[in-house]
Amino acid sequence: MKIEVYTKSGCTHCVQAKQLLEAKSLPYTSYKLKESEAEYGDNLVTRKQLMGIFPNARTMPQILIDGEAIGGLTELRDRLKQLNV
């Protein structure tokens, strides 16, 4: 299972989503929304890139599982229950 978590600074639900995955020992890749032009580093995405992946996103985090956009923290919890993980 390939999991990608798109986050932003100061987002409590983003932290909780990553903690949930870590508690279940599920590997994931985390991407952070680039909030200024001066910000640099690995795994940063621009707002334009984020909206290209999640055109209807209005909240964070946004999560992909095996390439499918599932939503945020609540949907992650639901999906992991469905998968008995």
* Number of domains making up the chain: 1
CA angle, 38 then 40 then 44, to 5°: 120
Q: What is the CATH number of the domain that holds 62?
A: 3.40.30.10
pTM reported for the whole predicted model: 0.93
> Residue 41: is its pLDDT beyond 90?
no
State residue 42's pLDDT score.
Answer: 87
Quote the pLDDT of residue 55: 95
Please give the residue range of the domain that contains residue 73.
3-82
- Average pLDDT, integer, range 48-67: 95
Mean pLDDT of the chain: 95
Answer whether the bond into residue 61 is a cis peptide, omega within 30°.
yes
69: confidence class by pLDDT, cuts 50, 70, 90: very high
Q: pLDDT at residue 43 above 90? A: yes
